[in-house]
A and B are shown apart, each in its own frame.
Chain A
């Protein structure tokens, strides 16, 4: 049993709990960033260095910041009170989550094939990752590239301000 893994796991769970429970959305997004960073640390501790740094770069650096931007752009909503603490839907949602967790935890606890300790996998340095990506995983890589391009163009199209009626842009489009 590794003490470092336990500390990082506790960090992840505290961060996720804060993300779910805190009422102010900005604090939610910040604890989400902390959770992502702790997950990156766990990947590093498990020996997946590249995934760990990618996690920190993509999630902490991009996704969390993007969420903070959207919260700030939709500002008037975030201070409104969130209704009663024990509404029916809320109790139902927590019950469903507890049921799912109970099922998974029972399965993990009972399974005989999960008793083994963590073995160190074969060496994954950057060179072998790059070679794998451009040989065995070439088609998924290209598909991911297309997906990211389409998604980003779509996001820009969605988020762009509509041209105001009577402005230069809409008159140009009428001509």
Chain B
């Protein structure tokens, strides 16, 4: 395997660990953490491909990763605020307790 393939496999593992956290854990906070891990795996892919095929477009993947980080930060802020709101309403952050459409 080339270094490129090793790094892509690492990124795939990171994505799948995030997916596992998002699918199997009960706490809403852990689901958000899993989503953050998946976003980071995507960013890692951008950087690795930029490094491997960056000759035609010297800054494309780089800029994509930069904007990805900004969007992920906004997502984390809104998601955590929503978790706080849900906790204040239900007194719980476990996903199986949040079972009403009309609060």
The interface residues of chain A lying within 8 Å CB-to-CB of B65 are: 48, 51
| B24 → chain A closest CB, angstroms | 4
| A12 → chain B closest CB, angstroms | 6
- In angstroms, Cα B93 to Cα A66, docked, is 16
A32 touches B37 (CB 8 A): yes
| B30 → chain A closest CB, angstroms | 7
Chain A residue at minimal CB-CB distance from B48: A46
State whether A66 and B19 are in contact (beta carbons under 8 Å apart), knowing that A133-B63, A159-B84 are contacts in the complex: no
The interface residues of chain A lying within 8 Å CB-to-CB of B25 are: 20, 82
- In angstroms, Cα B65 to Cα A135, docked, is 18
Indicate which residue in A20, A109, A128, A132 contacts B1 across the interface (CB closer than 8 Å): A109
Interface centre among A1, A28, A73, A97 (most CB of B within 10 A): A97
- In angstroms, Cα B74 to Cα A147, docked, is 7
Chain B residue at minimal CB-CB distance from A147: B74
A47 touches B51 (CB 8 A): yes
A105 touches B12 (CB 8 A): yes
Chain A residue at minimal CB-CB distance from B84: A159
The interface residues of chain B lying within 8 Å CB-to-CB of A19 are: 17, 21, 33, 37
A48 touches B74 (CB 8 A): no
B14 touches A25 (CB 8 A): no
Encoded as 1 (CB less than 8 Å from any A CB) or 0, chain B from 41 to 77 comes to 0011001101111110011001101110111111111
A82 touches B51 (CB 8 A): no
A148 touches B21 (CB 8 A): no
A66 touches B80 (CB 8 A): yes
The interface residues of chain A lying within 8 Å CB-to-CB of B23 are: 89, 92-94, 96-97
Interface residues of A in 97-127 (CB under 8 A from B): 97-98, 100-101, 104-105, 108-109, 114-122, 124
- In angstroms, Cα B86 to Cα A70, docked, is 12
- In angstroms, Cα B69 to Cα A114, docked, is 25
B84 touches A70 (CB 8 A): yes
B98 interface residue (CB < 8 Å to A): no
Indicate which residue in A48, A76, A114, A158 contacts B78 across the interface (CB closer than 8 Å): A158
B37 touches A35 (CB 8 A): yes
B81 touches A147 (CB 8 A): no
Q: What 5 A-B pairs come out closest when comparing CB atoms?
A: A121-B54, A93-B23, A151-B74, A122-B58, A158-B81
